[in-house]
Amino acid sequence: MLLSSLYGPDRAAAVVAPDATLSRHELLERASGVAAAIAGRDVVAVDATPTAATIVAITGALLAGVPVVPIPPDAGHVERAHLLTDSGATLVPDAPPRGDLPPEPDPNRPALVLYTSGTTGPPKGVVVSRAAIAADLDGLAAAWQWTEDDTLVHGLPLYHVHGLVLGVLGALRTGSRLVHTGKPTPRGYAEAGGTLYFGVPTVWSRIVAAPAEARALRHARLLVSGSAALPVPVYEGLEELTGQAPVERYGMTETLITISARADGERRAGHVGTPIAGVESRLVDEHGAPAPADGNTIGHLQIRGATLLDGYLRDGAVVPPDLTGGWYPTGDVATIGPDGWHRIVGRASTDLIKTGGYRVGAGEVEDALLAHPAVREAAVIGTPHDDLGEQITAFVVAESPVEARTLIDFVAGRLAAHKRPRVVRLVGELPRNPMGKVQKSRLR
């Protein structure tokens, strides 16, 4: 069973969130009501606010075997409309307080449709099966010695792999308690008194900048960082203030979390560890030929195993990804040492930006800017930022006078707020090569 702990003995305060505290059986009962209300639907959507209500709704969909699309609660009207139209999902309705427990759905059924950015165009729906999630969570539970004795704490959004698959379904599968802090603030983390903490690097960086809150994490068993590269100074700051180095792990929506340091093993700043059980990795060169795992050669990272996506949702069908011999090309470049340890060097494409742990496609932000009547041309890049890792920076050629602030708010109104540029530079023209293509490297 995917969410196996729910069927175990009841447990008080199994889920603690800003709006409600639920015991295991309260969650199961309320989710069974949702399952009854949506039984037989093809796909449902949930406004994924960071609440127990969201956890109930998503759990209900999983009980019913109905794939669920979590919608960012702050998605602007353009992004929201795209997610609903593209997936064909309808929102989970108000549900009765309980219903009959449906039989466990087939493990090969899709569980989630997670929308994520490509380099161009609107986000794509990544279809993830129940079996992939189960394999991933079991691999991570083994790597992190994650059990029902843990109390997991985080405040991450509930519409991405990190906050939802690991941060909610992981707790419901292992049986650990879950405390969701609403927002991932240093104070919320310090006050929650957990054993296991999840955060993106921006969260850990803010915790290191708040030493009193960081010291409160001394009692934790394991601090886990992922979704973007953890800067070495943040790693070292955590080690000094909390008495333990963080465990770093790597993954992506399409493969789930595949590479990690171990709870009982070495931790290495700037490195993300070795593949979890059920996952293989390799490097290839630009022609697709295998590249050596010698710790020096930088190659394109590929992943194979039980945690891979079923495919991308297109016109109601699931289109499998382009795999060669089962290998999924992550789009990340990395080194692998002779000891199997991975170092993520960066993304192959400059058009995928990681800001605060969110993946944002430059093309989607450019399209949003171009929809403003005052914008003639737009080019978006990620520029280095101490807190966010990268910040979204837009270069705009204006058609008519316009304030940077106006354009920032315009994008925030159309897309999720984290996709808004933090900086807009109004320029006379964009640097182009002789073919007319914008040279983003020159914008940096």
Q: Which residues bind ligand AMP (CB under 6 A)?
A: 116, 160-161, 226-229, 248, 250-253, 272, 330-332, 344, 347, 354, 359
* Residues near ligand MLC, by CB under 6 A: 74, 156-157, 160-163, 184, 200, 202-203, 226-227, 251-253, 257, 356-359, 408-409, 412, 417-418, 420
Please report how close the Cβ of residue 257 comes to ligand AMP at its closest, in angstroms.
8
Please report how close the Cβ of residue 258 comes to ligand MLC at its closest, in angstroms.
9
Please report how close the Cβ of residue 49 comes to ligand MLC at its closest, in angstroms.
10
Q: Closest Cα partner for 120 from 314, 411, 362?
A: 362
Q: Which does 184 bind (CB under 5 to 8 A by kind): ligand AMP, ligand MLC, none?
A: ligand MLC
Q: Which does 417 bind (CB under 5 to 8 A by kind): ligand MLC, ligand AMP, none?
A: ligand MLC
Give the 3-state secondary structure of 49-98.
CCCHHHHHHHHHHHHHCCCEEEECCCCCHHHHHHHHHHHCCEECCCCCCC
In the complex with ligand MLC, which residue's Cβ is closer, 251 or 382?
251
Alpha-carbon gap, residue 106 to 240, rounded angstroms: 47
> How many Å from the N-terminal Cα to the C-terminal Cα in the chain?
49
β-strands 299-305, 279-284 pairing: antiparallel
Please report how close the Cβ of residue 157 comes to ligand MLC at its closest, in angstroms.
5
Please report how close the Cβ of residue 291 comes to ligand AMP at its closest, in angstroms.
18
Note the helical H segments in 209-277.
Answer: 211-215, 232-242
CB within 8 A of 191, min separation 6: which ones? 216
Q: Which does 344 bind (CB under 5 to 8 A by kind): ligand MLC, ligand AMP, none?
A: ligand AMP
Please report how close the Cβ of residue 224 comes to ligand MLC at its closest, in angstroms.
10
CA distances from 174 to 81, 141, 323 (A): 35, 7, 31
* Structure-block tokens of residue 359: 């993946």
In the complex with ligand MLC, which residue's Cβ is closer, 50 or 110?
50
In the complex with ligand MLC, which residue's Cβ is closer, 6 or 334?
334
Q: Which does 332 bind (CB under 5 to 8 A by kind): ligand AMP, ligand MLC, none?
A: ligand AMP
In the complex with ligand MLC, which residue's Cβ is closer, 67 or 184?
184
In the complex with ligand AMP, which residue's Cβ is closer, 52 or 71?
71
CB within 8 A of 55, min separation 6: which ones? 15, 17, 22, 27, 158, 168, 180
Alpha-carbon gap, residue 174 to 195, rounded angstroms: 14
Please report how close the Cβ of residue 87 comes to ligand MLC at its closest, in angstroms.
18
Q: Given strand 279-284, what is the order of strands in its sheet?
A: 290-291, 279-284, 299-305, 328-336, 342-347
Q: Which does 333 bind (CB under 5 to 8 A by kind): ligand AMP, ligand MLC, none?
A: none
Alpha-carbon gap, residue 240 to 141, rounded angstroms: 26
User: Are 217 and 242 in contact, with CB atoms under 8 Å apart?
Assistant: yes
Alpha-carbon gap, residue 227 to 359, rounded angstroms: 9
Please report how close the Cβ of residue 336 comes to ligand AMP at its closest, in angstroms.
14
In the complex with ligand AMP, which residue's Cβ is closer, 31 or 224?
224
Alpha-carbon gap, residue 291 to 245, rounded angstroms: 31
Please report how close the Cβ of residue 290 comes to ligand MLC at its closest, in angstroms.
25
Q: Which does 200 bind (CB under 5 to 8 A by kind): ligand MLC, ligand AMP, none?
A: ligand MLC
Q: Which does 140 bind (CB under 5 to 8 A by kind): ligand MLC, ligand AMP, none?
A: none
In the complex with ligand AMP, which residue's Cβ is closer, 49 or 253?
253
In the complex with ligand AMP, which residue's Cβ is closer, 171 or 252?
252
User: Are 417 and 74 in contact, with CB atoms under 8 Å apart?
Assistant: yes
Please report how close the Cβ of residue 444 comes to ligand AMP at its closest, in angstroms.
18
In the complex with ligand MLC, which residue's Cβ is closer, 65 or 167?
167
CA distances from 9 to 6, 145, 175, 356 (A): 8, 21, 10, 38
Dihedral, CA of residue 415, residue 86, residue 62 and residue 71, to nearest 10: 10
Determine the residue with CB nearest ligand MLC: 356
User: Are 128 and 306 in contact, with CB atoms under 8 Å apart?
Assistant: no
Q: Which does 30 bind (CB under 5 to 8 A by kind): ligand AMP, ligand MLC, none?
A: none
In the complex with ligand AMP, which residue's Cβ is closer, 25 or 347?
347
In the complex with ligand MLC, which residue's Cβ is closer, 59 or 330?
330
* Structure-block tokens of residue 256: 């789930």
Q: Which does 347 bind (CB under 5 to 8 A by kind): ligand AMP, ligand MLC, none?
A: ligand AMP
Rounded to 5 degrees, φ, ψ at 69 are: -105, 110
Alpha-carbon gap, residue 438 to 444, rounded angstroms: 12
Please report how close the Cβ of residue 285 comes to ligand MLC at its closest, in angstroms.
25
